[in-house]
Amino acid sequence: MLRHSVWQNLRRLVAVLCLLSAYSAPAAAQLYKPLMNVVGMPLTEATDALWDNGFRGGNKNILTGVPTTDSSLANIVFAQQPAAGSVVPVYVPVVLRYHAHSAPVPSVVGKAEAEAMTILSKAGYAVEVAPIYSIESQKNGVVKKQVPAAGSPLSAKEIVTIQVIRYELAPLPNIAGLPAVKAQETIENAGFINAPTYSGQSTTDSKLFGLVAKQMTPPAAAVPKGTIVYYAVYGEMATIPNIIKSPYTAAITKLATQKLGHKPKYYFTSLKEADGIVLGVKPEVGTKVPTSTAPLVVVGKYTSNPVVLRFTKDKKTGALVMGITGGTKPYKILYKHDQPGAEIKGVPVTIADKPSEILWFRLESKMDVVATITVTDAADISAERKVPIVKNP
């Protein structure tokens, strides 16, 4: 009887193992496929073909443009890794190297904004305008700087950013009595330049530490943006130490030795080596601030699926277009700015020559504005960019 029972149990076990094997083998086989050949295809067709054939590493594919002056080769894939025919997991990222047609960027520094945009547009580039305020009214509308610099090789359709001088009057606020950090923020948001001093305004009243004692550049109804605003601060003061590239825990300790607090802000990244490392601090390193101030500390946080933001220009309207990929849908989009009446909104659009898995939004505003855009996915992973948006439509 015992032998019979053991034999029955063995037969049942073999049957179960056979069933599991029959089920799992096809499922496992579906995860590995011979990689198709995309060499010779235009870049967008290559990425679409990989996606359509089941290779869904699209968000992590590595696209490397190699400059060429031959326009006939523009955006053609000439190498891939892994090689065609390799049996690989369908989720593996694919490295695609393609010819990026490039030409020297023309010089537009010193030219009027409209002329500069015409020159760059005719050369095949998208143009992004970044206003920079000046007290010199005669230079209003003149390009002060361009990025990349003139002569740099750049592929067609890439973005050239031009810094355009703006002469604009605005109210200079009264900051007397405000905390120094709040005063700096108020002056900066109004379009002026901070010039605080921390000597000669000592006090034994600890309640006054860090407050603006005197505003030497007086408040006024109409002052050119870009004006330097001088003011003095009561203090016991501290200097923001250099904590960039330090582990977050070490940075906290270093701030505490200066009697400073901290306020963390996480920057999600796919680089494992940046996890837990301080990537930035605001106010900047070397800035004098009142003790007990809590600087904003940007800390890297690793994620295998970060939200990625990219920007291009609408060919017809010239409007800035934002693309979102990665992360977990749905996305929440927050627009933050200090320009009343701007009313920024993102209008969903389709861009024919861009990867289909990217969600594109045309950014519309009722006036020129610099906005901080934060996109947060369903897993609370976010990405943030500060960009200038030109009035449209």
Domains of the chain (ranges plus CATH)? 33-103 (3.30.10.20), 105-166 (3.30.10.20), 169-235 (3.30.10.20), 238-302 (3.30.10.20), 307-389 (2.60.40)
Query: H or E stretch including 248?
Result: helix 248-257
pLDDT of 204: 65
pLDDT of 59: 58
Question: Is 80 exceeded by the pLDDT of residue 1?
Answer: no
Residue where the block lists tokens 């802000």 = 265
Q: Is the separation of the CB atoms in 93 and 113 below 8 Å? A: no
Tokens, residue 142? 């003149």
Q: How far apart are CA 82 and CA 35, in angstroms?
A: 8
- Least-confidence region, from 67-71, 95-99, 244-248, 372-376: 67-71
**354 CB contacts (<8 Å, ≥6 apart)?**
44, 312, 323, 360
pLDDT of 62: 80
Question: Is 80 exceeded by the pLDDT of residue 101?
Answer: no
Q: How far apart are CA 371 and CA 189, in angstroms?
A: 12
**What values do phi and psi take at 367, rounded to 5?**
-160, 165
**Average pLDDT of the residues in 109-124:** 91
**Average pLDDT of the residues in 268-290:** 89
Task: Determine the distance from the C-alpha atom of residue 339 to the mean position of all C-alpha atoms in its chain, rounded to a whole number.
Answer: 21
Four-CA torsion 302, 304, 307, 313, nearest 10 degrees: 110
Hey, which of 48-62, 87-101, 225-239, 241-255 has the most confident mean pLDDT? 241-255
pLDDT of 376: 94
The whole-model pTM stands at: 0.46
CA distances from residue 280 to 38, 242, 266, 287 in whole angstroms, order as listed: 40, 10, 10, 13
What burial class does residue 82 get, using C-beta atoms within 10 Å of its C-beta: 0-12 exposed, 13-18 middle, 19+ buried?
Answer: middle
pLDDT in tens, 6-62: 445 545 544 444 444 444 444 444 578 899 999 998 887 888 888 888 887 655 678
Q: What percent of the chain has pLDDT over 70?
A: 89
Task: Determine the distance from the C-alpha atom of residue 78 to the mean position of all C-alpha atoms in its chain, rounded to a whole number.
Answer: 29
pLDDT in tens, 162-218: 999 999 999 999 999 999 889 999 999 999 999 988 755 666 677 888 889 999 999
Residue where the block lists tokens 């929440």 = 332
Question: Is 90 exceeded by the pLDDT of residue 2?
Answer: no
**Average pLDDT of the residues in 126-130:** 88
**274 CB contacts (<8 Å, ≥6 apart)?**
267, 300, 302
**Average pLDDT of the residues in 132-138:** 92
- Least-confidence region, from 80-94, 103-117, 131-145, 243-257: 80-94
Q: How far apart are CA 248 and CA 299, in angstroms?
A: 7
Hey, which of 16-30, 61-75, 357-371 has the most confident mean pLDDT? 357-371
Hey, which of 142-146, 303-307, 362-366 has the most confident mean pLDDT? 142-146
Query: H or E stretch including 238?
Result: strand 237-239
Q: Is the separation of the CB atoms in 41 and 29 below 8 Å? A: no
Closest among 297, 298, 290 to 181, alpha carbons compared? 290
pLDDT of 3: 46
Q: How far apart are CA 322 and CA 331, in angstroms?
A: 13
Q: How far apart are CA 84 and CA 39, in angstroms?
A: 9
Question: Is 60 exceeded by the pLDDT of residue 285?
Answer: yes
Angle at the Cα of 161 from the Cα atoms of 157 and 163, rounded to 5 degrees: 155
